[in-house]
Structure 1
Amino acid sequence: MDGSVSNVEICNLAYAGHLEQLKALILTDKSLATKTDQDNRTALHWACSAGYKDIVDFLLNLGVPVDPTDDVSWTPLHIAASAGREEIVRVLISKGAQVNAVNQNGCSPLHYAASRNRYEIASMLLENGADPNIPDNIHSTPLHRAAAKGNFHMAQLLLKHRASTNLQDLEGNTPLHLACDEERDEEAKLLVENGASIYIENKEEKTPLQVAKGGLGLQLRRIVEGSN
């Protein structure tokens, strides 16, 4: 292939940012605006991926669906959130994109914003009804991801929007287990200050205190004792 991302010309034009050529093609055949390629992606998916807001605006103003799903159930909003396209996320939400749509991995757009530390995008999603407690296929929530990655301000934002601190993934780990295991000390303290239990056991029958390294366990215990 010639470096193109798609077997459909309109999708390649969207990904490359060629608005005028894309417009000209769609004027000859309106059905191209929603034509799907080998990944079941439309021009809207590809414009969101590459960050071309002018093409996104053009397509949405034509009336194309805002939430088409590709072959693994990613919507344009999933793609824009994951890629860090703030302005496009704003436009998609304004057009009614489903903020709690989940893909084949069970992930919502917020999962990707949290793990990739897209703070402004996460904030937009949460302010427009994103649920911070949706579990993915391994029962990991956005807070699990933020805690494991050491995204402190993201964890703060999620907690402010009522993210639950004590949900367990399929391994029985809470966000606190992950923060302790990854030596994310500040995130671990933040979680305990916001109600995370130091006593919940994971599948290996270990509490966050037993997973903690260095002096972190003692610091966490002091936070709990100080709040009682």
Structure 2
Amino acid sequence: MARSGDEKQGKLDFDESRIDSGIDSYKSIPREQDGISHSSEDKDKNCALEERLDSAYVSSSLTVDSLGDIIEKCSISECESAAECEYTEEEVSFLTTVTEDGDTILHLAIIHEEECFARQLIDLFSPDLMDIQNNLYQTPLHLATYLNQSTVVKSLVEKRVSLELQDQEGNTPLHVACEQGFWDCANEMMHSASPSKLAYVLEAQNWRGLTCLHVAVLHKHHRLLRLLMKSGADLNIQEGTSGKTALHVAVELHDAPAVNMLLNKGANVDAAMFNGCTALHLAVGRQDATIANLLCQAGADKMIRNMEDETALDLADGNDDILALFPFDDIQIMGRTVMSFS
């Protein structure tokens, strides 16, 4: 419902210098110590007692109470739907203000877990405003994902915000979901993305060269791994630094369930890293007979040589369990048989 311009402007006066940014400092506050509970009842009980930092520069802080004051000053909180509200030019300017740390009011609403207000803002804003990146290159979708606000993620992706934008570590929001193990957030993004956009995001590498598949395997999030495979992730894509596939990563972590899942879905058992090592080289080199056996059962080529001209057998180092996996021919020295395995 529209009000006079003077009345609206009076409601929008606030100390903007108190608002600042950053999920980095927020995530440094231990959850068990900051008085925050994930249940809505406990959140309501505690919100009046706490002060939470959200500046990457720790220049000042914003309390949940003061954010509540800002919400009350905004007429959007009095509308059943943001689309039904009418705004003065000053009020629109307030809603779209970017702080010195790069945050919009939507960033701040998400950081402070004001999910209802965040969804109202999403209803109001255009996608280009919701794709603004703060000084840490985080979009509202990055922040909502990091804080596991799946309903906010759903609202954002339904408005077709960008899934491709990368933060200061090169992570897309889907990378963040795969790192944190937030299946619901990842599912919302993958379910709503067009096939072309999803393919791009699944192939995107962060600054460490890792795709979302590598990240999910690295953190042993098996449920997310299954979701990524179901959504068409390339199982043989190589990370950018050493050429490891997800199978190489799983073998390095001694993660037999992940190795099984990848092999059963058709991962190339003989894929080689940039140095020529296959997953079998890694398993044998790490003396992991269980995973070496899984790879052999999947048809791993035991005679592939890496750039050091080594086969997997050369790395067995006398491990009887691993040596038993390799067939031997008679050993000859200068043409004379000195040991027979027949």
Q: Which TM-score bucket, shorter chain as reference?
A: 0.7 to 0.9
Tell me the residue number matched to 1:168. Answer: 272
Shift of 1:3: 3.7
Distance change (3 Å), C-alpha of 1:165 and 1:27? closer
Q: Counterpart of 1:93 in structure 2: which amino acid?
A: M
Q: Normalising by structure 1, report the TM-score.
A: 0.86
Tell me the residue number matched to 1:44. Answer: 141
Check whether the contact 2:289–2:322 (CA below 8 A) recurs between aligned residues. no
Greater mean deviation of Cα atoms: 65-74 or 188-197: 65-74
Tell me the residue number matched to 2:110. Answer: 14
Q: With CA pairs under 8 Å and 6+ residues apart, which has the higher RCO, 1 or 2?
A: 1
Tell me the residue number matched to 2:224. Answer: 121
Check whether the contact 1:180–1:212 (CA below 8 A) recurs between aligned residues. yes
Q: Normalising by structure 2, report the TM-score.
A: 0.59
Secondary structure, in 3 states, of the residue corresponding to 1:44? helix
Q: How does 1:50-129 map to 2 (within 5 A)?
A: 50-96=147-193, 97-98=198-199, 100-103=202-205, 104-129=207-232
Distance change (3 Å), C-alpha of 1:211 and 1:26? same
Check whether the contact 1:5–1:12 (CA below 8 A) recurs between aligned residues. no
Secondary structure, in 3 states, of the residue corresponding to 1:165? coil
CA RMSD of aligned residues (A): 2.5
Q: Does 1:4 align with 2:54?
A: yes
Give the whole-Å Cα distance in 2 for the aligned partners of 1:105 and 1:221. 35
Q: How does 1:125-144 map to 2 (within 5 A)?
A: 125-137=228-240, 138-144=242-248
Check whether the contact 2:136–2:167 (CA below 8 A) recurs between aligned residues. yes
Check whether the contact 2:217–2:249 (CA below 8 A) recurs between aligned residues. yes
Tell me the residue number matched to 2:250. Answer: 146
Distance change (3 Å), C-alpha of 1:56 and 1:204? same
Out of 303, 306, 313, the residue aligned to residue 209 of structure 1 is 313
Post-superposition CA distance 1:130-162 (Å, at most 9, x none): 110001111100000011101111111111121
Check whether the contact 1:16–1:50 (CA below 8 A) recurs between aligned residues. no
- Which sections of structure 2, spanning at least 5 residues, go unmatched? 1-24, 26-51, 57-100, 329-342
Give the whole-Å Cα distance in 1 for the aligned partners of 2:261 and 2:291. 12
Greater mean deviation of Cα atoms: 19-28 or 98-107: 19-28
Structure whose alpha-carbon radius of gyration is higher = 2
Give the whole-Å Cα distance in 1 for the aligned partners of 2:265 and 2:233. 9
Give the whole-Å Cα distance in 2 for the aligned partners of 1:215 and 1:13. 60
Give the whole-Å Cα distance in 2 for the aligned partners of 1:155 and 1:5. 41
Post-superposition CA distance 1:59-96 (Å, at most 9, x none): 22333223323344422111111211111111111011
Greater mean deviation of Cα atoms: 107-116 or 1-10: 1-10
Q: Counterpart of 2:210 in structure 1: which amino acid?
A: C
Identical-residue share of aligned pairs (%): 24
Check whether the contact 1:13–1:19 (CA below 8 A) recurs between aligned residues. yes
Q: Does 1:181 align with 2:285?
A: yes
Shift of 1:116: 1.6
Shift of 1:106: 3.5
Out of 261, 266, 269, the residue aligned to residue 157 of structure 1 is 261
Greater mean deviation of Cα atoms: 209-218 or 180-189: 209-218
Q: How many correspondences in the alignment?
A: 223
Q: Counterpart of 1:100 in structure 2: which amino acid?
A: L
Give the whole-Å Cα distance in 2 for the aligned partners of 1:19 and 1:207. 56
